[in-house]
């Protein structure tokens, strides 16, 4: 079994890893170390929770020498604000015994404050593509000294529509640079980005995107509707000892707020919610409260699925079936981290059954279905978006899509289209364009 001592790390890094309690590298950390240090482009494919941040930071910090220059030498791009804060915090722990200046930049906060911080100089800048591009355009951030570019969770960035900013940032970087990309899934967009900008990259693949994590127990419940799911969730969460730290994923912001309101009635301040409509300070406080144990239950949307790196999560509850099967893997990857056992529970309705089957096909395994507990109420009440819209066949203000008995073709005289006035149709053709002094033959005719 390999250990960090085999890497020949500088003693400052070794001290930091000892303080963090890290003794043995994960597979992605072991296999990525040498290729990244060699300077070649690297593409890493690994599940969430496998130590990807340390996998790319360890070789970069090993060769990062002290410098007083103001412009950064390492650029790290991540998709969400939460991930910026997380990566900055992790790098600070790795560099506890080194003199390395790290700066995080992200939207939702005062850009002038970030400009002032960058003016003091930094070695590593971590940022979201949108804010980083704005800083580069305003010349508050100079990218001319960047030697290493890390793109973390690149598939999420492309899903969020950051390709435009990524491409523009690449145009501002020096031609000679090393690209390091980490992703949990390999999509067509990711592959196209690699073809456009990477030079013969070394691929380090630890696990396929559909490979279930061995230390996560998975189960599911079939429910008729949203409110029945909420009742089941409240029943499960009443076991405070077993469900000690629970992350609940919902499909959108509206469902997040609605579910939070329902759970708040039973669990009060021990439940919180986080999504992109919340202010940056609210989101930071919600994550910190969840991490420190002030709240036991955190309701989150998919945007947060890979912006959260929280320890000791006992359960991940999938309140819905995600649109893409790969997102299920990202969700459950929030639990069972750092070799701890985790639990994942999926709620699905009849309409979501195909999505559940797609997840099982991706993982090549069946998710164990549990019996509905008697204590959980099943209701027939539906949300407005769950109800079928009735067809109003005899409403004179609404015409059926396929047309009813009163539908008929237009008469020939009503099928005519506007061809313009008489001048455009007839006179303009007859006399053509009037002669003007701009006519090149005007002066010749006048002299004659």
Q: What are the pLDDT digits (tens) for 369-410?
A: 999 999 999 999 988 888 876 655 666 555 555 555 555 666
Q: Is residue 349 part of a domain?
A: yes
Are 166 and 77 in contact by the 8 Å Cβ rule? The answer is yes
* Element spanning 345, H or E: strand 342-348
Check pLDDT > 80 for residue 349: yes
DSSP assignment of 428-445: HHHH-SPP-TT-TTHHHH
Same domain assignment for residues 147 and 293: no
**Distance spanning both ends of the chain, measured CA to CA:** 103
CB atoms within 10 A of CB 165: 19
List the CATH number of the domain containing 169: 3.40.50.300
User: What DSSP state is assigned to residue 211?
Assistant: P
Whether residues 234 and 343 share a domain: the answer is yes
Domain carrying residue 120: 4-205
Long-range contacts, stretch 17-25, CB < 8 angstroms, 24+ apart = 17/94, 19/93, 19/96, 20/93, 20/94, 22/54, 25/51
Of the pLDDT bands very low, low, confident and very high (cuts 50, 70, 90), residue 445 is: low
- The reported pLDDT for the residue numbered 12 is 94
CA-to-CA dists, residue 386 to 227, 263, 317, 358, angstroms: 11, 20, 21, 22
Distance, CA of 258 to CA of 124 (rounded, Å) = 40
User: How does pLDDT run across 254-286, given as a tens digit for each residue?
Assistant: 999 999 999 999 999 999 999 878 887 888 898
pLDDT band at 338 (very low <50, low <70, confident <90, very high): low
Residue 239 predicted with pLDDT over 80: yes
* Residue 419, in any domain of the structure: no
Residue 312 banded pLDDT, cuts 50, 70, 90: confident
Do residue 369 and residue 295 come from a single domain? yes
- Mean pLDDT over each residue of the chain, to the nearest integer: 85
Instruction: Indicate whether 210 belongs to any domain.
Output: no
Q: Could you give the angle at which helices 253-267 and 226-237 cross, rounded to 10 degrees?
A: 40
Q: What is the pTM of this model?
A: 0.69
In this structure, are 366 and 346 located in the same domain? yes
In a domain, 417, yes or no: no
pLDDT at res. 214: 73
What average pLDDT does this structure show over 328-333? 82
Domain check: are 280 and 170 in the same one?
no
Q: Are residues 147 and 230 in the same domain?
A: no
* Per-residue pLDDT at 301: 86
Which of 138, 47, 38, 135 minimizes the C-alpha distance to 84? Answer: 135
Residue 40 corresponds to which tokens in the numbers above?
Answer: 């070649």
Query: Taking each helix axis from N to C terminus, what angle separates 11-20 and 81-94, rounded to the nearest 10 degrees?
Result: 120
**Spatial contact of 135 and 157, defined as CB atoms under 8 Å apart:** no
């Amino acid at each position: 079994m390999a250990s960090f001592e085999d890497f020949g790390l500088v003693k400052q890094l070794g001290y930091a890893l000892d303080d963090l309690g890290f003794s043995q590298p994960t597979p992605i950390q072991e296999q990525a170390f040498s290729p990244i240090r060699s300077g070649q482009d690297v593409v890493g494919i690994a599940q969430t929770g496998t130590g990807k941040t340390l996998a790319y930071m360890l070789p970069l910090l090993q060769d990062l020498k002290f410098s007083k220059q103001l412009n950064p030498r390492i650029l790290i791009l991540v998709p969400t604000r939460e991930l910026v804060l997380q990566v900055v915090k992790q790098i600070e722990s790795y560099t506890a015994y080194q003199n390395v200046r790290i700066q995080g930049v992200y939207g939702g906060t005062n850009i002038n404050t970030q400009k002032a911080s960058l003016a003091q100089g930094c070695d590593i800048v971590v940022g979201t593509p949108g804010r980083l591009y704005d800083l580069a355009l305003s010349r508050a951030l100079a990218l001319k000294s960047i030697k290493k570019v890390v793109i973390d969770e690149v598939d999420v960035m492309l899903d969020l529509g950051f390709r435009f900013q990524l491409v523009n940032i690449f145009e501002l970087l020096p031609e000679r640079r090393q690209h390091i990309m980490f992703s949990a899934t390999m999509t067509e967009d990711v592959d196209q980005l690699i073809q456009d900008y990477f030079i013969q990259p070394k691929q380090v693949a630890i696990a396929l995107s559909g490979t279930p994590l061995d230390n996560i127990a998975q189960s599911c419940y079939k429910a008729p509707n949203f409110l029945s799911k909420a009742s089941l969730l409240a029943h499960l969460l009443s076991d405070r000892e077993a469900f000690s730290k629970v992350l609940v994923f919902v499909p959108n912001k509206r469902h997040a707020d609605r579910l939070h309101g329902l759970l708040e009635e039973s669990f009060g301040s021990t439940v919180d919610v986080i999504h992109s409509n919340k202010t940056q300070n609210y989101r930071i406080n919600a994550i910190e409260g969840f991490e420190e144990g002030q709240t036991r239950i955190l309701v989150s949307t998919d945007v947060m699925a890979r912006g959260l790196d929280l320890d000791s999560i006992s359960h991940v509850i999938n309140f819905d079936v995600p649109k893409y099967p790969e997102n299920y893997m990202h969700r459950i990857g929030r639990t069972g981290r750092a070799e701890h056992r985790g639990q994942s529970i999926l709620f699905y309705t009849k309409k979501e059954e195909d999505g559940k089957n797609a997840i099982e096909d991706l993982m090549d395994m069946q998710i164990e279905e549990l019996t509905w507990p008697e204590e959980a109420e099943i209701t027939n009440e539906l949300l407005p978006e769950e109800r079928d819209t009735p067809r109003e066949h005899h409403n004179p203000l609404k015409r059926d899509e396929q047309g009813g008995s009163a539908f008929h073709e237009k008469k020939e005289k009503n099928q005519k289209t506007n061809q313009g006035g008489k001048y455009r149709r007839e006179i303009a053709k007859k006399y053509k364009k009037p002669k003007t002094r701009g006519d090149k033959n005007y002066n010749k005719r006048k002299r004659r």
